[in-house]
Amino acid sequence: MTVYCGREFSPDDIQTIKQLIEQNPKLKRTALSRKLCELFGWLKPNGELKDMTCRVALLRMQADGLLTLPPSHPNSGAHKALHFPPTAATDAQAPLLQPVHELEVLWLRRIETRADSRLWNEYIARYHYLGYTPMSGAQMRYNIFAGEQLVALMSFGASAWKLAGRERFIGWQECERRKNLQLVVNNARFLILPWVQSKGLASKILSRIARQLPVDWQQRYGYRPVLFETFVESPRHRGTCYKAANWTHVGQTTGRGKKSTVHHQIIPIKDIWLYPLRKDFASVLCR
């Protein structure tokens, strides 16, 4: 048995996938993932197909040399939709300079509607130094407000496939990592809007999200994550807010990227920060 995205795949399962690809050479990856979810009964707690998670699993199988997927066929219309030109809706506001204890009550709102999603994407594309990139698989996005004023945006998604510093911190063996990787969630984006300069705000938000996200994740996906991870590009940022919120620095990335076959740095090196969401996180992840 091998485990991808929290599901065990037997040799017969892998063979079934390969046969489906061979018998339907023109089948696109999206249709393939949906067929496989129907075939394997791979469903979300709400009964929907886990097709996005399945596509991630298929990509990882291909990376491990188990199968060859049909060529990707990017849709030009979808590609254009990934660009979010700035509009008046995301223009800068008056500076907000009060420290966090003087702000109105902080609260988090999950991104649920298409309009909220479009606006969230525009803010990230306009003001985050990494810009906007779509996430696949399980994910959650938030707007953070102080009273009625939007002050920050966050997103969480699938964790990195392999991280030496993280694996040492957890005490992971390979089989345990493959089986339990879905219980680690990556803080992919964290944006304090540039006109908001409130001392202590970032670490306060991190504390709030650590309590809120596991509940929301359970509601949406049927299980609770037990560990957060994030990457901070150094020396651009020092990770001060993560340190203040009791996250742990466990090392650095290699700078080679997720799918690179080279052995030298090709992208910026980033610090790895982790935050356990329960005291027994290590025993849960090492089951």
What residue has token string 């649920």? Answer: 112
| Residues 180, 157: Cα–Cα separation, whole Å | 15
Q: Tell me, what's the pLDDT at 103?
A: 96
φ, ψ dihedrals at 13, nearest 5° = -60, -45
Q: Tell me, what's the pLDDT at 281?
A: 97
- The number of angstroms, rounded, from the C-alpha of 237 to the middle of its chain's C-alpha atoms is 20
Domains of the chain are: 2-63 (no CATH), 98-285 (3.40.630.30)
One digit per residue, the tens of pLDDT, for the chain of length 287 reads: 788 887 889 989 999 999 999 988 888 888 999 999 999 998 877 778 888 888 888 988 888 889 999 887 655 444 444 578 899 999 999 999 999 999 999 999 999 999 999 999 999 999 999 999 888 778 999 999 999 999 999 999 989 988 999 999 999 999 999 889 999 999 999 999 999 999 999 999 999 999 999 999 999 888 999 999 999 987 778 889 999 999 999 999 876 655 445 555 556 889 999 999 999 999 999 98
- Give me 117's structure tokens: 């999603």
Q: Tell me, what's the pLDDT at 263?
A: 54
Between CA 29 and CA 121, with CA 155 as vertex, the angle to 5 degrees is 75
DSSP per position, the chain:
-EEETTEEE-HHHHHHHHHHHHH-TT--HHHHHHHHHHHHT-B-TTS-B-HHHHHHHHHHHHHTTS--PPPP---HHHHHHT-----GGG-----B-S-GGGSPPEEEEE--SHHHHHHHHHHHHHH-TT------SS-EEEEEEETTEEEEEEEEEEPPS--HHHHHHHT--HHHHHHHGGGEEEEEEEEE-TTB--TTHHHHHHHHHHHHHHHHHHHHHSS---EEEEEEETTT---HHHHHTT-EEEEE--SS-SS---SS--S--EEEEEEESSTTHHHHHT-
Q: Tell me, what's the pLDDT at 260?
A: 47
| Residues 9, 2: Cα–Cα separation, whole Å | 5
